[in-house]
Structure 1
Amino acid sequence: MLKNRAAIKSVAIYLRMTAKDKAAIEERAKERKMTVTEYLTRTGLARLTRQRADVDAIHQLRLCVEELKGIHRALQLLPTEAPMIDPATLEQTMQEICAAIQRIWRKGERG
């Protein structure tokens, strides 16, 4: 599918700034897992950018999903007459995951 011609990025903007400002912009873009161009475009157009805590929380959630998929695959391999996993085991795991995500959010609020 072809992109809309108006949406093709063909214009360049050159900026003059101090090395300190450039480094700060690069760091902020990196924290948000964006290119400098994406970051400057989104902030320049007053669009939302994810904060570091958001990016870390999303990463943690992805890890949780992978862990849960692994548990599901392991359960699928058990014979049907095998005893079920104790729900308390899963509850403890979920509480640890939620606590880790909360730590990330609190850290992001300070930083």
Structure 2
Amino acid sequence: MASAKIKKGDRVIVLSGKDKGKTGDVTLALPKAGKVVVSGVNIAVRHTKPSQGDPQGGLKRSEAPMHISKVAHVTADGKPTRVRFETQDGKKVRVAVKTGEKISG
């Protein structure tokens, strides 16, 4: 089970694979599966036959989930950073390791 260090709405960068270096926002987080869906990254193409619901058919592109270990949170200057938890004012908050800035959300 993965931790909730990366959540929906976070800006992330891909660390490995065919989309290495691409950035995008997390549109869906699947913490039990340890996966995230990032906008504009890991595009899967499905060939569909024409049907009554979709008379055109053809190539359908969609964003596929990728493992949470392949992405890292992006700081304001566009560089990847790890995330740690700290207690501030009695609340548990996410903090960027590189810069020490608080991550909203």
TM range (shorter): under 0.3
Higher strand share: 2
TM-score of the two chains, using structure 1 as the length reference = 0.18
Higher helix share: 1
Greater relative contact order, per chain length (Cα 8 Å cut-off, separation 6+): 1
Which has the greater radius of gyration? Answer: 1
TM-score of the two chains, using structure 2 as the length reference = 0.19
